[in-house]
């Protein structure tokens, strides 16, 4: 099965490279460091290295508590962070600066994997969330590199898809050295797929510390608005902005709507949507301020979610108003912001249930209901305050995942190689 999978990858390679070049029109990062995608690198790794793979922006931010914990525990090791997307690589630069080595992960081709492992020779590999690449996993197994699937989550939909892959998926999951699952339902699904040594370690995102400087900047920005309420539409995806903005027509005319799209390549497209709707818009990237009369503030910057959560009264988080699986709501809860999400939160089902049960979040059936809930909250500061406190308490109760992950990493680094 793996041979067929590899053959199909080689057949798809021209189309993959063409798409890479095409995406590079809007995100130049896709046209840089292409050699790294084939396992080549001019980085000097040093003799002792730990490797963490975080595919894109969300995984990079989730990996931060673990990367920093590893850096403290293994100060004599370099840490390599790999990404798949250009946005993820840019986020890693913002989060880690010069404290890590940074590269693209190689394509899952045997030769590329071999060059990558021969060059870096990691003592430990950590794959964030659900990054299952059969040739990469097999290459690590053959080289005796212990491989941990960290902060691992698996929806029932994804589990069914992997089950249909049969032996290929079973071999890949079985070759992992360990899995740190976010919750019990994730752990059960990983075991069913053949993973061994599965631990319920919690969600690393509860350990993420919002940038205090950005949070303070957001609060100061909010104070300068004085009496205006602020409704944040955060991490929105294609197809959601039109519907959410249409419903926002019913929000108090003096309120400021802050819109932060999930993907940077869509910033200009979303600005065009706002223009078509006749919304007077200020753009963060251009240093414009939402003076009185400007209805919309477009958050078209990266790495500033702590700022946006710091300035808002209520947050409606996107990704769940289309069947896309939702987006992370923990950062908003940690900031003490009341949260509203959509119906399609299957990638964050456990966290959503926890937040709703804790009265830190509301789950709406559609965009209209979500904005209706937001309007009610904006008119009820006491309820907003209660939800914000509940969110902070929820996050405090579930911290500690980074240390539990570190315990598994220590065990893997000291254990004899597994057959």
Residue 410 in tokens? 């220590």
Number of domains in the chain: 2
**Do residues 234 and 132 both lie within one domain?**
no
Give the best-scoring range by mean pLDDT among 157-161, 221-225, 277-281, 366-370: 366-370
pLDDT top residue among 25 and 405: 405
- Give me the CATH number covering residue 341: 3.40.50.2000
Averaged pLDDT score across all residues of the chain: 94
In a domain, 197, yes or no: yes
**Do residues 50 and 69 both lie within one domain?**
yes
H/E/C letters for each residue in 180-240?
EECCHHHHHHHHHCCCCCEEECCCHHHHCCCCHHHHHHHHHHHHHCCCCCEEEEEEECCCH
- Give me the CATH number covering residue 23: 3.40.50.11720
User: Distance between CA 124 and CA 146 in Å, rounded?
Assistant: 5
| Alpha-carbon distances, residue 165 vs 15, 103, 123, 169 (angstroms) | 23, 29, 30, 6
Band (pLDDT 50/70/90 cuts) for residue 266 is: very high
pLDDT at site 134: 95
pLDDT above 90 (res 303): no
Residue 199 in tokens? 């631990």
Instruction: Write out pLDDT tens, residues 122-135.
Output: 999 999 998 899 99
pLDDT at site 306: 95
**Do residues 164 and 238 both lie within one domain?**
no
In a domain, 207, yes or no: no
pLDDT at site 419: 47
Share of the chain above pLDDT 90, in %: 89
**Do residues 191 and 301 both lie within one domain?**
no
In a domain, 103, yes or no: yes
Q: Taking a C-beta distance cutoff of 8 angstroms, is the pair 180, 149 a contact?
A: yes
User: Distance between CA 184 and CA 201 in Å, rounded?
Assistant: 10
**Do residues 129 and 153 both lie within one domain?**
yes
pLDDT above 50 (res 259): yes
Residue 17 in tokens? 């490279």
**Do residues 319 and 186 both lie within one domain?**
no
Q: Taking a C-beta distance cutoff of 8 angstroms, is the pair 403, 209 a contact?
A: no
pLDDT at site 93: 94
**Do residues 115 and 263 both lie within one domain?**
no
**Do residues 316 and 195 both lie within one domain?**
no
Instruction: Write out pLDDT tens, residues 175-233.
Output: 999 999 999 999 999 999 999 999 999 999 999 888 899 999 999 999 999 889 999 99
pLDDT at site 7: 93
**Do residues 92 and 174 both lie within one domain?**
yes
Decide if 59 is catalytic: yes
pLDDT above 90 (res 78): yes
Mean pLDDT of 301-309: 93
User: Distance between CA 408 and CA 150 in Å, rounded?
Assistant: 10
- How many C-beta neighbours within 10 Å does residue 167 have? 11
Band (pLDDT 50/70/90 cuts) for residue 26 is: confident
pLDDT at site 171: 94
Instruction: Write out pLDDT tens, residues 143-173.
Output: 999 999 999 999 888 999 999 999 999 999 9
pLDDT at site 354: 95
Q: How far is Cα of residue 299 from the mean position of the Cα atoms in its chain?
A: 18
Range(s) of the domain holding residue 146: 2-202+400-414
In a domain, 419, yes or no: no
Structural element, H or E, at residue 232: strand 230-236
Instruction: Map tokens 């600066």 to a residue.
Output: 97
Share of the chain above pLDDT 70, in %: 99
pLDDT at site 293: 77
Helix (H, G, I), strand (E, B) or coil at 103: strand
**Do residues 187 and 313 both lie within one domain?**
no
**Do residues 58 and 111 both lie within one domain?**
yes
**Do residues 389 and 292 both lie within one domain?**
yes
One DSSP character per residue, 244-268 reads HHHHGGGS-TTSEEEEEES-GGGHH
Angle at 48 between CA 42 and CA 50, to 5 degrees: 85
Q: Which of 27, 35, 44, 59 is catalytic?
A: 59
Residue 349 in tokens? 């089902």
pLDDT above 60 (res 418): no
pLDDT at site 417: 56
Helix (H, G, I), strand (E, B) or coil at 370: helix
Helix (H, G, I), strand (E, B) or coil at 301: coil
Strand partners, 315: 232, 339
pLDDT at site 210: 84
């Amino acid at each position: 099965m793996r041979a067929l999978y590899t053959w199909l990858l080689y057949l798809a390679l021209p189309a993959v490279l063409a798409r890479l070049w095409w995406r590079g029109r809007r995100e130049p990062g896709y046209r840089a460091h292409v050699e790294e995608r084939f396992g080549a690198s001019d980085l000097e790794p040093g003799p002792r290295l730990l490797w963490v793979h975080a595919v894109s922006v969300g995984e990079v931010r989730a990996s931060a508590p673990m990367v920093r914990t590893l850096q403290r525990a293994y100060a004599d090791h370099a840490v390599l962070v790999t990404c798949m997307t250009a946005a993820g690589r840019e986020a890693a630069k913002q989060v880690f600066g010069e404290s890590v080595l940074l590269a693209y992960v190689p394509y899952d081709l045997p030769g590329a994997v071999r060059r990558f492992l021969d060059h870096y020779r990691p003592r430990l590999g950590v794959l964030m969330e659900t990054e299952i690449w059969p040739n990469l996993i097999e290459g690590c197994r053959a080289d005796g590199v212990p491989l941990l699937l960290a902060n691992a989550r698996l929806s029932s939909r994804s589990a069914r898809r992997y089950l249909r892959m049969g032996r290929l998926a079973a071999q890949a999951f079985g070759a992992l050295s360990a899995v740190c699952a976010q919750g019990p339902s994730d752990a059960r699904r990983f075991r069913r797929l053949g993973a061994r040594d599965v631990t319920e370690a919690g969600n690393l995102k509860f350990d993420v510390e919002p940038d205090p400087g950005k949070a303070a900047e957001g609060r100061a920005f909010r104070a300068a608005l004085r009496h205006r309420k602020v409704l944040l539409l955060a991490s929105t995806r294609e197809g959601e902005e039109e519907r959410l903005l249409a419903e926002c027509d019913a929000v108090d005319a003096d309120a400021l709507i802050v819109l932060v799209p999930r993907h940077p390549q869509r910033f200009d497209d979303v600005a065009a949507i706002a223009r078509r709707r006749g919304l007077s818009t200020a753009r963060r990237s251009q240093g414009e301020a939402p003076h009185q009369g400007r209805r919309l503030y477009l958050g078209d910057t990266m790495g500033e979610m702590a700022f946006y959560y710091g300035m808002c009264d209520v947050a409606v988080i996107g990704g769940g108003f289309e069947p896309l699986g939702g987006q992370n709501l923990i950062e908003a809860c940690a900031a003490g912001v009341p949260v509203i999400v959509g119906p399609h939160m299957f990638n964050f089902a456990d966290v959503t249930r926890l937040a709703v049960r804790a009265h830190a979040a509301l789950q709406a059936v559609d965009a209209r209901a979500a904005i209706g809930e937001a309007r009610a909250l904006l008119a009820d500061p006491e309820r907003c305050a209660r939800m914000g406190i509940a969110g902070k308490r929820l996050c405090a109760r579930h911290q500690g995942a980074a240390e539990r992950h570190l315990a598994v990493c220590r065990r893997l680094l000291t254990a004899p190689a597994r057959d």
